[in-house]
Amino acid sequence: MASVLYDRMRRSTPWTRRWGAAALLSATATALLPLLRYGAPLPRRDILTAFAVALLCGLGWVVATWRAPLTGLSLAKPEADVVIPVPGKIPRTPLTALGGTLAAALAVYAVFSAQLVAMQPDGRQARTIAALQDAGARVTTATVTEVWAQEESAVSVSGGEGTPHYWYASFAATLPDGTMLSVDRGIVAGLPFRDTKVSILYAPGRLELGGWVDDSADIAVYTRSWGPPLDFQAFWTVLMGAFALTAVVIVSLWNRGGRRLLREDAAAGRVYAVRVDTLTAVRKEHVTVGSRPGTTRTVVRRSLRASTECGDLKLGVPSYDIPLLAADFGAGGGRLLFARRWRMDNADEVPGVFVAPDGRMFPFRTGSKHVERLARKDVLHPSDPSVAARYWSMSCRTSPARRLLIVALYALAAASAVPLLVGTQSYGLGWLLFLLMATAGVLGPCLAGLAPPAVEHPVWERQRTVDPRVTT
């Protein structure tokens, strides 16, 4: 059964990568718009359009995966002694290889983006805000010249002690441009006394001077199109800082030292190159004592072993790619390439690439002690600047059905936001959106991270060891 599951996996193709990148970019735009244009008038056609594009790209990603060829594990045939040139052009790690990390970061951020959508005003409040924004509403500061009537409300502007309260007042005032204004039963922030400055929140017949929303917030909160409400500014600043930091870390990992050094050294003309005879998928079982007396447990480790002219090396690659790598390149031979300046990376594991005779390559990492052993044997080789390597067509890692389920989860969560975005929302629906997006944010990465088992396929070389403490 396990081998059947693995054989049903699909190979990554240019179309699966293009549709996946388009879906990720459009989903990012959908998640960022509630923050970048917070308080924009309803209906939010920008978010609805971005959501439709993201859904279309997500379905395209699923269809492209379904139409991609099956991986299949037909073992590579041994080739006669062939000259394997050392390529001088090694491509950069494709950004699509970081798609899983970017998607996981986006899944976390999407939960907070859903909270922003749920917090936006609804119903009558939304219509009032839309009318005020259409009128170019702003909170205007004016100097009071005369007060005819005033009545204090029970709500303060920010809800804290010592802050100005809302006042219902009839008064005359001078605007900043010198215009004299008479207000009958308006609303101001601050105690309206003669020669004092107040913020006009509502002036009947003069919507462009300000606006009244409800007893919990003034129009200044909602007329910002560049950021979240003031009360949440510090929180969102920290969140966006963390999001930016994640992006910086991802980019730095994408262009990290060792592999960049390898590209530069290959272009300069000399790299460490070791000929590989075979690649073998190794499944090692180690039986040891269990946590309770009289019990045992089995620890399984999977690895890819390269048999080279200088001895065996263990290559660090994703476990779900090991059987396919062994099948595609196992008996065909190739070369392991390392940077001539690999010590500058200063890491316990050194990045390298395997290059097959046909020019296909895949990245890996191995222990620095192994590279040190190779360096002592002086395996420096000149590279050929006319030869370019290309990335191996890896597996899609998730099946079309699983990808469809991920798209459906986020589509369901986003669909619950449609009434909120067209102005017919309720706060209860906002909470439903938040819960659905949080559920999708947990289940989506979990579904994407589950690799199909490939334990029982014949490409594995099985090894078994038993702890001496285990009695037979």
pLDDT digits (tens, 9 = 90+) for 105-158: 788 778 777 777 776 665 555 565 566 556 655 667 888 998 998 877 654 444
| Cβ count near 404 (within 10 Å) | 18
pLDDT surpassing 80 at residue 179: yes
More confident residue, 153 or 402: 402
Return the pLDDT at 191: 81
More confident residue, 235 or 303: 303
Return the pLDDT at 294: 73
- What number is the average pLDDT over the span 185-192? 80
Return the pLDDT at 4: 40
pLDDT surpassing 70 at residue 186: yes
pLDDT surpassing 50 at residue 160: no
Return the pLDDT at 63: 93
Q: Give the domain ranges of the chain.
A: 2-70+107-122+398-450, 87-92+258-391, 137-222
pLDDT surpassing 70 at residue 469: yes
CA-based angle 60:65:67, to the nearest 5?
Answer: 95
| Cβ count near 421 (within 10 Å) | 20
Per-residue pLDDT tens digits for 215-262: 445 555 444 444 445 455 556 665 666 666 666 666 666 555 567 788
Q: Which residues of 175-239 form beta strands (DSSP E)? A: 180-189, 197-202
Could you tell me the pLDDT band of residue 159, with boundaries at 50, 70 and 90? very low
Sorted by sequence, the CB contacts under 8 Å of residue 380 that are 6+ apart come out as 270, 271, 272, 273, 340
Residue among 154, 138, 182, 460 at smallest CA distance from 300: 460
pLDDT surpassing 60 at residue 90: yes
Distance CA 105, CA 441 (A): 10
Return the pLDDT at 3: 42
Q: Which helix (H) or strand (E) holds 233?
A: helix 233-254
Q: Which of 100-104, 157-161, 320-324 has the lowest mean pLDDT?
A: 157-161
Q: pTM surpassing 0.75?
A: no
Secondary-structure percent of the chain, ordered helix, strand, coil, rounded to 5 = 45, 25, 30
Per-residue pLDDT tens digits for 328-368: 887 778 888 888 887 777 777 888 889 888 888 888 888 88
Return the pLDDT at 468: 79
Return the pLDDT at 1: 38
Average pLDDT, the chain: 75
Q: In the chain, how many H helices and how many E strands?
A: 13, 15
Per-residue pLDDT tens digits for 404-429: 988 988 888 888 888 777 766 555 56
pLDDT surpassing 60 at residue 83: yes
Per-residue pLDDT tens digits for 35-81: 777 767 777 888 899 999 999 999 999 999 898 887 665 555 555 56
